[in-house]
Amino acid sequence: MQYRLHRILLACLLAGNGIVAAAQTYPNKPVRLIVGFAAGGPTDTVARTVARELHQSFGQPVVVENRPGAASNVAADYVAKAPADGYTLLMGSISLANNATLYSKLPYDLLRDLAAVVRVTNSPFLLCVHPSVPVKTVKELVTFAAARPGLVQYGTAGNGSGAHLFTELFASMAGIKMQGIPYKGAAPAISDLVGGQVSLVFDNVMAMAPLHKAGKVRCLAASTLTRSPIVPGIPTMDEAGIKGYQADAWFGIFSAAGTPVAVVERVNADVNRALGVNAVRERFQTLGCDPAGGSAAAFAAYVRAEVDRWGKVIRGAGVRLD
């Protein structure tokens, strides 16, 4: 019995030493950064910006691989089931937190099967109306919509999208009822806003700011707690009277649960370092993104809070995607 116990302890020790050795030599081969959306979109662009810097610090190729499908669930499930060694990473977004409630059955559990590594960026959405809508402030919009319950139509990139949920959060906090019109993507929703077919769209700053500057839409507020440097004259929702409103379109890196702590810390440190590079900061600024960074523990806590917060919004709006 004692001999057998010694063998078990020795096996555990050797396994532990193997994990430590693997972490110390990480990375010694190419790393894949999986993106759950098509090439060219915001998540893909953020991933490729980070991948270029990680290639320099890792001394190994960091290959961005697009696996679109089911609002990034395909990619998340793929990484969740990958070896927990840090060589298959996921560039996730707020969609992951939303999906935890939007779908009743998922092949993975965000909080159990994926390890939060580092938050990369935050990006605001802008609440915008067609110029024909007789409002110039958020307070005026609330008054306008309250007098027409369920009649003010807002466009979204689809049920459960950021545009949908950010607007639902605004409506619930303002105590108003509006009618959501889901489109197959943000572009047709924004096109119909410009054409006056819908009154309101709440969407990404990079899509909305140029239209605001051209006078094609009127932007009333930004979703984040700080103003966007792209449109510094536009107040935040909190400043505009919806106290406590905050909604960030965030991006962050995840790995499979069980990835060695030393590997997570290595990726975390190198991404934090990359976020301080001027070229990276300038690139993110052109995308309307603010560098985030911070520890893995802080990002994990943030993701848990996001799942809880958006879960309440989704359940309150009665939104399901299956």
List, for residues 192-212, the tens digit of each pLDDT value: 999 999 999 999 998 899 999
Structure tokens at 216: 């094609």
Residue 41: the pLDDT is: 86
Q: Tell whether the model's pLDDT for residue 34 goes beyond 70.
A: yes
**Beta strands in 192-313, from DSSP E residues, in sequence order:** 200-204, 218-222, 251-256, 290-291
Q: Please provide residue 216's backbone torsions phi and psi, each rounded to the nearest 5 degrees.
A: -80, -25
Residue 63: the pLDDT is: 98
| pLDDT confidence tier of residue 239, bands split at 50, 70 and 90 | very high
Model pLDDT for residues 282-301, shown as the tens digit of each residue: 999 888 899 999 999 999 99
User: Which range (7-21, 54-68, 207-221, 293-307) has the least confidence?
Assistant: 7-21
Contact indicator for 255, 114 with CB cutoff of 8 Å:
yes
The 3-state DSSP class for residue 46 equals helix
User: Which range (14-18, 44-48, 133-137, 201-205) has the least confidence?
Assistant: 14-18
Q: Tell whether the model's pLDDT for residue 322 goes beyond 80.
A: no
| pLDDT confidence tier of residue 320, bands split at 50, 70 and 90 | confident
d(CA 107, CA 70): 12
Share of the chain above pLDDT 70, in %: 93
Name which of 285, 154, 283 is nearest 209 in CA terms.
285
Model pLDDT for residues 107-162, shown as the tens digit of each residue: 999 999 999 999 999 999 999 999 999 999 999 999 999 999 999 999 998 899 98
Residue 13: the pLDDT is: 47
Residue 248: the pLDDT is: 92
Average pLDDT, the chain: 92
Crossing angle of helices 261-274 and 296-317, rounded to 10°:
80
Residue 11: the pLDDT is: 46
Q: Tell whether the model's pLDDT for residue 18 goes beyond 80.
A: no
Q: Please provide residue 268's backbone torsions phi and psi, each rounded to the nearest 5 degrees.
A: -60, -50
Q: Tell whether the model's pLDDT for residue 9 goes beyond 90.
A: no
3-state secondary structure 1-39: CHHHHHHHHHHHHHHHHHHHHHHHHCCCCCEEEEECCCC
The full set of domains in the chain, from first to last, is 29-123+248-317 (3.40.190.150), 125-222 (3.40.190.10)
Contact indicator for 264, 255 with CB cutoff of 8 Å:
yes
Residue 20: the pLDDT is: 53
The amino acid sitting at 118 is V
The 3-state DSSP class for residue 155 equals strand
- Give the mean pLDDT of 34-56: 94
- Which string of DSSP letters, residue by residue, matches 73-134? HHHHHHHHTS-TTSSEEEEEEHHHHHHHHH-S--SS-HHHHEEEEEEEEE--EEEEE-TTSS
Q: Tell whether the model's pLDDT for residue 5 goes beyond 90.
A: no
pTM equals: 0.87
